[in-house]
Amino acid sequence: MLRLARVVSLVPKVTAVAVALLAAPALAQFGGDAGLANAFRQDFYRRDLTIFNQVLQLEDWQRPIIEVLLDDYAASFETGLAAMRESIGKLRGEVAGDDGRQIMERMMIPLEAWEREKVVLRDQFLADVQTQLSPAQIDRWSALERALRREKDLPQGELSGESLDLVSVLRQAQVPTSIVEEIAPVVQEYEIALDQALVTREAKISSLQPLVRQAMTSMDFERGLQVMQQIMAARVEVRTVQEAGLASITTALPPDLAQRFRDEALEQAFPKVYGPNATIAFIDAAKQLEDLSPEQREGIETIERDYLSQLAGMNDRLRDLYRTEEPNEPRRRFERVMRRQRGEAPSREAVGEPESIRTLRGERENIGRLAREAILALLTPDQVSRLPGFSKPEGDPEKDASGGFQQTPQSNDPEGLGSDSTMTDEERRRQALSPKDRSPPPSLGGVGAKQADSDRIRNDSPRGRGSRPGAGQSPPPVHAE
């Protein structure tokens, strides 16, 4: 009996063959694989034994039986997958010269036959498991189904926040078990609502899959867009449930745990917004310098408050832009395909992220640059040389001829720690030397220390403390799309 590792090793090979047969315009329009990849994924893996054990509370004698059933399922899946691979391999040798429509029509025959067989394998495995359970364990079956859907269906999301698992976030935010038990009704309400949304999403995708494939086969991109927009609406509903769950669980938790939980959830939901932040790392490094004078330390802390205050607002705006723009991706894919069909070069707006997001990203990077420049102006040349990413230039042991420091290249620095500003060191020092005698740096001022303190961002994760929204802010709004 071949084991699971062998099964997994076959999946990318089969998928690659199938994808190679698809017309490139169809792939571009329908989002990469148009749902075809699900045919090549197992419904259950050996690692799922952990979920069965935790939810059903398996007896010692039951675990080996469930493990054998998982192995049998994997072997049967492999047999069917191998037959599918053989059919596609034969098709690959027969379709030379055929057009894209003929390729798609012929490929769908073995694909759809395998998908039907795959459903039978899944249902038979679940039925076999149930025969081994006690009545009390059968009563927990619905909880098992919800847990499995969170494990398997959540990762299939396309929108920021769609694939969030707030039950896991509670663990990752280290919320004590006693507190989780206290808010169990709220968490269960979220679990049930999320499960219903996932069931609805998967049912919608399944019901529309024939229309997607018909549109792919006929290269009817307009029809394909209409179908993909319906699927996207179901994805938005899942995201809406996630946002409602985040708000309700955050409200139920004590304030200190609520902020930590919400920070972790937002970072996972919107990693492009609340992920690692180069300016925060730079500020932290500057604060760690052991020979800072009281005036320097106070100046850095003031700059930090001003920066974090503005960053929190910009991150909220950026998050809202992602919420608004991501559901429009099917339309953007359609427009890119139409441009290629007409032989036109893709516009800048059609490639990559929308202009509105790129613009706000640029503004956010600019306030980071200004904050770093203001801090550099407070430091001596020797202190600057000890910051990560900076080094003394060759020649003069302290400074080069221009009076500046060389920056060590940073390959993974999204904001860029250097600056091409022509401002002199003396001008920077006059601008930022003493917090008591100066206004905050351009684009960083106008916010009092008290207000800035209330917006200060907590650090409960090693992945970008200052990139998160500040304490005291309300949870993200729930919008109906």
The answer to whether position 92 is within a domain reads yes
Q: How confident is the model at residue 462 (pLDDT cuts 50, 70, 90)?
A: very low
Whether pLDDT at 93 is above 80? no
Same structural domain for residues 250 and 130?
Answer: no
**Do 125 and 157 fall into the same domain?**
no
One domain for residues 75 and 207: no
- Give a yes or no: residue 144 inside a domain: no
Q: Which of 193-207, 236-250, 382-396 has the lowest mean pLDDT?
A: 382-396
Most confident of 148-152, 288-292, 337-341, 456-460: 288-292
Q: Are residues 315 and 454 in the same domain?
A: yes
Residues 264 and 289 in one domain: no
Of the three residues 108, 137, 166, the one that is the final residue of a domain is: 137
Residue 473 lies in a domain: no
Are the C-beta atoms of 304 and 458 separated by less than 8 Å? Answer: no
User: Among the listed ranges 107-116, 124-133, 313-322, which one has the minimum average pLDDT value?
Assistant: 107-116
Q: Mind listing the pLDDT tens digit for each residue in 362-373? A: 999 999 999 999
Give, rounded to a whole angstrom, the gap between the first and last alpha carbons of the chain.
Answer: 49
Q: Clarify whether residues 168 and 80 are in a common domain.
A: no
Rounded-to-integer distance, Cα 153 and Cα 92, Å: 31
Total domains in the fold of the chain:
3
pLDDT for res 216: 72
What is the torsional sign of CA 161, 164, 170, 172?
negative
Q: Is residue 478 part of a domain?
A: no
**Statement to judge: residues 283 and 371 lie in one domain:** yes
Binned at pLDDT 50, 70 and 90, residue 181 comes out as very high
Verify that 317 and 396 share a domain, yes or no.
Answer: yes
Q: Pick 401 or 308 by higher pLDDT.
A: 308
The closest of 428, 366, 278 to 286, measured between CA atoms, is 278
- What's the mean pLDDT when you consider all of the chain? 76
Specify if 142 maps to a domain: no
Q: Do 388 and 438 reside in the same domain of the chain?
A: yes
Q: Which of 202-216, 361-375, 460-474 has the highest mean pLDDT?
A: 361-375
pLDDT at 383: 93
Element (H, E) at 260: helix 255-269
Q: What is the pLDDT of residues 15-37, one digit of tens each?
A: 444 444 444 445 445 554 455 67
Tell whether 476 is covered by a domain: no
Per-residue pLDDT at 141:
94
Position 367 in a domain: yes
198 in Cβ contact with 206 (< 8 Å)? no
Q: Is the pLDDT of residue 50 over 70?
A: yes
Whether 228 shows a pLDDT value over 70: the answer reads yes
The answer, yes or no, to whether residue 408 has pLDDT greater than 60, is no
pLDDT of residue 333: 80
Which CATH number characterizes residue 230's domain?
1.20.120
Which of 107, 137, 167 is a domain's end point? 137
Which of 17, 11, 13, 19 shows the shortest CA–CA distance to 40?
11
Q: Per-residue pLDDT averaged across 76-90, rounded?
A: 87
Asked if residue 355 and residue 334 are part of one domain, the reply reads yes
Instruction: Over range 135-151, report the average pLDDT.
Output: 91
Q: Is the pLDDT of residue 361 over 80?
A: yes
State the residue range of the domain holding 226.
153-269
Same-domain check for residues 279 and 265: no
pLDDT over 70 at 169, yes or no: yes
| Domain termination residue (choose one: 247, 269, 291) | 269
The confidence band for 98, taking pLDDT boundaries of 50, 70 and 90, is low
Structural domain includes residue 145:
no
Which three-class secondary structure state does DSSP give residue 1?
coil
Token readout for 111 is: 């694909």
Considering only 50-59, 61-70, 80-89, 176-185, which range has the smallest mean pLDDT? Answer: 80-89
Buried b (16+ CB within 10 A) or exposed e, 49-88: bebbeebbebeeebeeebeebbeebbebbbeebeebbebb
Q: What count of other Cβ atoms lies within 10 Å of the Cβ of residue 256?
A: 11
pLDDT band at 150 (very low <50, low <70, confident <90, very high): confident
Give the residue, 390 or 96, on which the prediction is more confident: 390
Contact criterion met (CB below 8 Å) for 393 and 376: no
Please tell me the chain's helix, strand, coil percentages from 3-state DSSP, rounded to the nearest 5. 70, 0, 30
Do residue 173 and residue 112 come from a single domain?
Answer: no
